[in-house]
């Protein structure tokens, strides 16, 4: 993959990666374009040529990071609609979902975007639309399909999606923003945590025969 | 109250208030002690005399803000243990809880602390322990009492507390970090949102006679 990239595209990736690491550790306001250029071993002019300014670079870093993390979970959610064993498959999906959102780069990205939400509101809105909102919409679509198959009883798919997502990840993702994803993951028994959340979800939403 | 404060205590409050407003709008890293002193109409030396440095001022601002917001909700949760009408009272509490966490100063405080979590981890840990963790512990204690009264069946009170809290506030508080508390509050029908969350909670946890 890297070999196939031209020299300019490789420089772009190097700048994105250097900018991301510096923004994560020193914050957006605490990082200068000079530092990013030095870390990427390019000139300041090269950074400006690729990204215009620091603000554009921040938008590119967040967009780039979201592309790789959101697509995988959306695909998993879509596949659940065809399940032959609802409880087993929804539990497995919930465990993968919880582990995915507690990954260190995901938590760091959230911290960065939330910390700048007052100064760069369009970035925070972009993040919310591209990540949490799309994930919730995918759950709603999946639960609606499972309703049509007679496996769930979900009169309000968007509400059920919200309930499922936050039963599974709610406390953990909230705590991770403050205490860090790896620390939270290490303190949670993912299997029993996820089973408890799924049990509550199914108690409210599973369709009962007869 | 203000009259009873001495001149020094009033200056301290003025500095706290000026620092909070500047940190909220420009960020911790984007605010200098010079700006805080100018806004509070005191000398830079007075800021240092009261708070040591900018870092100590940040800790004092967060501690001060938490004192006033957390105590009220903890008291409300404690009172629920004596309910004579569980569904009505838990629904009313849930609505107040949701409105409380979506208040602009609460969301701003979360953004500030989360944004600095990498640089000031002890502040993030303090915030988590003093606000979310204490609230969850209060819900756990209350649900345990309601279990003993035979109104709920809650074998794991801490897990039930987490489920209740994030069924009620989960999506909204997450979205508010990105999109702002007032915008989220304006887009939600609090009563129907809260009723839906309580319905799921009770489907899983209400004790049934017989």
Q: Does residue A74 sit in helix, strand or coil?
A: helix
Indicate whether this model's pTM tops 0.90: yes
**A29/B25 CB distance under 8 A:** no
Which residue on chain B is closest to A199 by alpha carbon?
Answer: B204
**A24/B178 CB distance under 8 A:** no
Residues of A with Cβ-Cβ distance to B187 under 8 angstroms: none
Q: Per-residue pLDDT for B1 more than 70? A: no
Task: Round to whole Å and give the CA distance between B36 and B20.
Answer: 9
Give the gap in angstroms from C-alpha A166 to the nearest C-alpha of chain B: 6
- The average pLDDT across A13-36 equals 92
Task: Round to whole Å and give the CA distance between A193 and B174.
Answer: 20
Summarize pLDDT for A104-153 with one digit per residue, the tens: 999 999 999 999 999 889 999 999 999 999 999 999 999 999 999 999 99
- The lowest-confidence range among A46-50, A134-138, B26-30 is B26-30
What pLDDT shows up at residue A208? 79
The 10 Å Cβ neighbour count of residue B137 is 16
> CB pairs below 8 Å between A and B: how many?
139
Encode A36-58: b = buried (16+ Cβ within 10 Å), e = exposed.
Answer: bbebbebeeebbeebbeebeebb
Give the gap in angstroms from C-alpha A53 to the nearest C-alpha of chain B: 18
DSSP H or E stretch at residue B21: helix B7-26
Q: Per-residue pLDDT for B208 more than 90? A: no
**B125/A178 CB distance under 8 A:** yes
Which residue on chain B is closest to A196 by alpha carbon?
Answer: B159
Which residues 34-93 of A are in CB contact (within 8 Å) with B? none
- The average pLDDT across B168-174 equals 98
**Percent share of chain B, pLDDT over 90:** 83
* Bridge partners for B152 per DSSP: B206
**A163/B197 CB distance under 8 A:** yes
- The average pLDDT across A91-106 equals 95
Residues of B with Cβ-Cβ distance to A116 under 8 angstroms: 27, 115
Share the mean pLDDT of chain B: 93
Asked if A187 reaches chain B (Cβ–Cβ under 8 Å), the answer is no
- Please report, to the nearest 10 degrees, the dihedral formed by the alpha carbons of residues A19, A119, A178, B16 taken in order: 130
Asked if A108 reaches chain B (Cβ–Cβ under 8 Å), the answer is yes
What pLDDT shows up at residue B210? 43
Residues of B with Cβ-Cβ distance to A112 under 8 angstroms: 115
Give the gap in angstroms from C-alpha B171 to the nearest C-alpha of chain A: 6
Share the mean pLDDT of chain A: 93
What pLDDT shows up at residue A65? 87
Sign of CA dihedral B107, B109, B114, B116: positive
> pLDDT grade, residue A210 (50/70/90)?
very low
Give the gap in angstroms from C-alpha A183 to the nearest C-alpha of chain B: 12
Summarize pLDDT for A137-194 with one digit per residue, the tens: 999 999 999 999 999 999 999 999 999 999 999 999 999 999 999 999 999 999 999 9
- The lowest-confidence range among A121-125, A206-210, B57-61, B201-205 is A206-210
Interface test with chain A among B115, B126, B197, by most A beta carbons within 10 Å: B115
Q: Does residue A124 sit in helix, strand or coil?
A: helix
Closest CB to A167 among B111, B136, B163: B163
Task: Round to whole Å and give the CA distance between B162 and B165.
Answer: 5
Asked if B127 reaches chain A (Cβ–Cβ under 8 Å), the answer is yes
Asked if B119 reaches chain A (Cβ–Cβ under 8 Å), the answer is yes
Give the gap in angstroms from C-alpha A162 to the nearest C-alpha of chain B: 6
> pLDDT grade, residue A5 (50/70/90)?
confident
């Amino acid at each position: 993959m890297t070999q196939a990239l031209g020299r300019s595209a490789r420089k772009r990736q190097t700048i994105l990666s250097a900018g991301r690491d510096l923004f994560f550790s020193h914050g957006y306001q605490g990082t200068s374009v000079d530092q990013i250029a030095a870390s990427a071993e390019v000139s300041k002019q090269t950074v400006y040529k690729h990204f215009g300014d620091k603000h554009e670079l921040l938008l590119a870093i967040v967009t780039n990071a979201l592309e790789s993390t959101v697509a995988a979970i959306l695909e998993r959610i879509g596949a659940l609609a065809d399940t032959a064993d609802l409880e087993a498959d929804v539990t497995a999906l919930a465990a993968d979902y919880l582990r995915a959102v507690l990954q260190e780069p995901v938590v760091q990205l959230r911290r960065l975007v939330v910390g700048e939400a007052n100064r760069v509101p369009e970035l925070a809105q972009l993040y919310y639309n591209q990540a949490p909102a799309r994930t919730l919409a995918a759950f709603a679509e999946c639960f609606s399909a499972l309703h049509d198959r007679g496996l769930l009883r979900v009169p309000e798919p968007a509400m059920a999606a919200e309930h499922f997502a936050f039963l599974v990840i709610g406390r953990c993702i909230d705590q991770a923003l403050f205490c860090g994803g790896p620390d939270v993951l290490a303190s949670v028994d993912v299997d029993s945590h996820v089973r408890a959340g799924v049990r509550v979800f199914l108690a409210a939403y599973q369709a009962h025969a007869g």
